[in-house]
Amino acid sequence: MNIKKIAVEEHFGFPEIIDDSQKQLPQEGWPKLRQALLEVHGRLLDEMDTCGVQTAILSLASPGIQAIPEKQKATEIARRANDYLADIVAKKPDRFQALAALPMQDPDAASQELVRCVKDLGFKGLCVNGFSQIDRDESAVYCDLPQYWPFWANVESLGVAFYLHPRVAPSRTDLHGHPWFRGAAWSFGVETATHALRLMASGLFDTYPKLTAILGHLGETLPNTIWRIEHRLRVMPRGIPAKKPLGEYLRNNFYFATSGNFSTKALINAILEVGSDRILFAADYPFEEISEAADWLDNIDAISETDRLKIARTNAENLFRLRTASDAAVPAATLDR
């Protein structure tokens, strides 16, 4: 008997900007992926039915709004993209939920749009696709900077989680001559882990201790590296603003999703670092196969059935407040495929 799952990092495409995602992917695979991003009520729903996924939490495919340098344009397209996503959810509210796409180019506009999405559209949180380009295509502005702190105060007050999602990093000289490491194979994780470390080191979670972040791919390498990062910061202190060791923020303010990292060894390492209560199931549709993610979780023999249930659905139910009265009346493990 397989547990009905909640998948927390599945993507849709907004027609006005969907082709921006092509810049992060091999040319030959794009037509199929493009179609899949637009077929949420077709291909995605079919795959969910086949693989025992009850609910998918949808977010705008990277780089999304973050790749629009013009602030006003970013604000306008974010609103239209969120309305488009709200329509998708409204057609199947029992199968889909939503994370807001926000114009981080303008923190005030981002706050206003987040409030609208949460309070008026019923969205469950937000997804930030990495750094934002502001005014210039070659710019890269990260969310730890002081101008974003009022925005983060708003996120904390709303009590919603934010997904810190990768995008292609700014030009990196260390990858010249090795284009295969650009994107999901390597640079996505490095870029996003660095962004997360910036948030932790800035003292953001000291000021807003109830902020909750999610990292995909089982923590973007941080479960493997956080000890050494902490160790070197202790050995060679450099005036870091954070009041606590960075690992404390990782364990208290972050969740990890399984998206695109279906490795049992990596999962066990993540559980050892943050605990099984902070691991969420995800596939990363359409860039990864839901069937692979679901089969892997269903058949891991290295975790308990209690932890399998937590990862498959109950952690997400609690984090995103998805559980209904009828759900609560029936043990989740009895919800068959």
Is-catalytic flag, 83? no
More confident residue, 255 or 182: 255
Omega of the bond prior to 209 within 30 degrees of 0, cis? no
At 121-132, the pLDDT tens digits run 999 999 999 999
**pLDDT-based confidence at residue 326 (cuts at 50, 70, 90):** very low
Nearest to 250 by CA among 217, 215, 282: 215
At 224-270, the pLDDT tens digits run 999 999 999 999 878 999 999 999 999 999 999 999 999 999 999 99
3-state secondary structure of 12: strand
Give the Cα separation of 215 and 199 in Å (integer).
12
Contact 123, 117 (CB under 8 A): yes
The structural domains of the chain, ordered by start, are: 5-334 (3.20.20.140)
* Active-site entry in 137, 284, 298, 301: 284
User: What is the model's pTM?
Assistant: 0.93
> Is the pLDDT assigned to residue 332 strictly greater than 60?
no
- Among the ranges given (69-78, 177-186, 317-326), the one the predictor scored with the smallest mean pLDDT: 317-326
> Burial, 7: exposed, middle or buried (Cβ in 10 Å; 0-12, 13-18, 19+)?
buried
At 94-114, the pLDDT tens digits run 999 999 999 999 999 999 999
Tell me, rounded to whole angstroms, the distance of Cα 179 from its chain centroid: 24
What pLDDT, on a 0 to 100 scale, did the predictor assign at position 28? Answer: 76
What pLDDT, on a 0 to 100 scale, did the predictor assign at position 327? Answer: 43
What pLDDT, on a 0 to 100 scale, did the predictor assign at position 175? Answer: 85
Give the Cα separation of 229 and 317 in Å (integer).
32
